[in-house]
Amino acid sequence: MSPDFTPALKLDLGATPPGTAESDQQQVADGDSTVHDVVIVGSGPAGYTAAIYTGRANLKPVVIAGSVTAGGDLMQTTEVENYPGFTDGIMGPELMATMQAQAERFGADVRYEDAVKLELDGEVKKITVEGGEVLHAKTVILATGSAYRELGLEDEKRLSGHGVSWCATCDGFFFKGQNIAVVGGGDSAIEEATFLTKFADKVTLIHRRDEFRASEIMQKRAFDDPKIEILWNKQVIGISGESKVQELSLEDTVTGDVSALPVTGLFVAIGSDPRTDLFKDQVELTPEGTVAVQGRSSKTTLPGVFAAGDVLDPTYRQAVTAAGSGCVAAIDVEHYLAEHSARAQDQDQLTAPSAAQRSPLPH
Ligand SMILES: Cc1cc2nc3c(=O)[nH]c(=O)nc-3n(C[C@H](O)[C@H](O)[C@H](O)COP(=O)(O)OP(=O)(O)OC[C@H]3O[C@@H](n4cnc5c(N)ncnc54)[C@H](O)[C@@H]3O)c2cc1C
């Protein structure tokens, strides 16, 4: 079924132009709470870019940044070498701190809290944060990202950015001339493995079954590549190395035998899950589980609700694409608010008494 993007027939968000003192002061019926122009859920490159743009548009964005995961996926990595503007690369956490500071410079209100409930239908959206406070907003940008699936091993997190990676496009370059491994059996695992042969001397593809889930064409690519060795029926049960990956422990899924594989890198390619739990029953999702948006826009199936970054992207999932998508969402929010404020003004004029009906001015 294709998503239903039918816009709301009548939205009255108030006649006051967005971003003005009056609109910020607008009150809601069910409490003494400000109706914000925009609340952004998520503080990765998508969320902060949306905050920079909406901040500069004087919309005073509120960013619900997350309580322990503020800054998003790049907080887990070391050097980022492919984000434009940094000749010598930049550390992931530093890049995110810079984006946050830039958003705050334009008035973003960044709150280190998790959103625990979203009520997205209706003209005024409700965002409940941990602790019970309810924020109200005319628009919401969903920028909650996507979580790479992990193996669940003790040393996986510790060695993340030190040999363990979830992104060949991001980190392949660091493994020039090395002997590395990829875990997984789907299309993306084989794509990562073949991409990594551009850099590594040898790529061992580890799969826990005796056949791949990947498409025939992708499988052929792996079988034909002289730099790829495939280990069937093996699963990684341990990663060792003091400050960098040195060796993997593998268990044979048929015999239970344990063996060691010396490698300096491990790419985990067992899939990812868009973080949609909070709103998957309210906006339409694609078959891949990402948020469905209309064309190249950020518009979801609900008016006034926009999405940005990895949460809507099953394919590219890079910091720079997430940032670009945050920009798109911010501009869509601006257009939405301007359009509905203009519509509300038109309605006011239609309902205002005509000159003849007005009481005569006193002389
Ligand atoms: C280890 C690693 C290394 C990477 N290296 C690179 C690289 O070198 N170059 C590159 O371009 N890309 C890299 N990527 C990919 C890149 O990090 C992502 O594509 C990008 O961060 C996506 O941005 P995003 O804003 O969509 O989501 P995220 O960065 O995932 O941010 C999502 C945000 O949503 C918040 N959130 C989620 N749920 C809630 C909630 N209920 N309440 C409040 N907040 C919530 C999280 O706290 C987080 O702040 C890497 C990814 C990983 C995991």
Residues 49-89 have pLDDT tens digits of: 999 999 999 999 999 999 988 999 999 888 899 999 999 99
Please give the DSSP secondary-structure letter assigned to residue 117.
E
Residue 22 pLDDT: 43
The pLDDT of residue 363:
36
Answer whether residue 1 shows pLDDT above 50: no
Q: Among this protein's residues, is 170 annotated catalytic?
A: yes
pLDDT for position 19: 45
pLDDT band of residue 354 (cuts 50, 70, 90) is low
Indicate which residue of 170, 310, 313, 332 is catalytic.
170
Distance 46 CA to ligand 1 centre (A): 8
| Superfamily of chain region 35-147+272-344 | FAD/NAD(P)-binding domain (3.50.50.60)
Tally the C-alpha atoms within 13 A of residue 160's C-alpha that lie toward its C-beta: 18
**pLDDT the model gives residue 207:** 97
Of all residues in the chain, the percent with pLDDT exceeding 70 is 87
The better pLDDT of the pair 159, 15 is held by 159
Return d(Cα 179, Cα 53) in angstroms, integer. Answer: 43
d(CA 256, CA 264): 24
Q: Is a pLDDT exceeding 70 seen at residue 316? A: yes
> Among 195, 144, 161, 169, which residue's Cα sits nearest to residue 83?
169
pLDDT of 232 reads 97
24-30 own/partner pairs: CB under 8 Å, 24+ apart: 24/60, 28/124, 28/136
CATH classification (class only), 154-268: alpha beta
What average pLDDT does range 356-362 have in this prediction? 46
Helix axes 187-196, 216-224, angle to 10 degrees: 30
254-310 confidence digits (pLDDT tens)? 999 999 999 999 999 998 999 999 999 999 999 999 999 999 999 999 999 999 999
- pLDDT, one tens digit per residue, over 161-195 is 899 999 998 899 999 999 999 999 988 899 899 99
pLDDT band at 357 (very low <50, low <70, confident <90, very high): low
pTM of the full structure: 0.82
- Decide: 151 in ligand 1 pocket, CB within 6 A: no
pLDDT of 352 > 80? The answer is no
Do 154-268 and 35-147+272-344 fall under one CATH topology? yes
Cβ–ligand 1 contact at 320 (below 6 Å): yes
Query: What's the mean pLDDT when you consider all of the chain?
Result: 89
Ligand 1 pocket residue status of 319, Cβ below 6 Å: yes
User: For residue 17, what pLDDT is reported?
Assistant: 45
Predicted confidence at residue 78, as pLDDT, reads 83
- pLDDT of residue 25 exceeding 60: no
For residue 80, how far is the Cα from the chain centroid? 17
What average pLDDT does this structure show over 30-35?
65
* Residue of the CA atom closest to atom 14 of ligand 1: 318
Tell me which of 37, 73, 114, 167 is the catalytic residue.
167
Calpha distance 338→124 (Å, rounded): 16
The domain locations on the chain are 35-147+272-344, 154-268
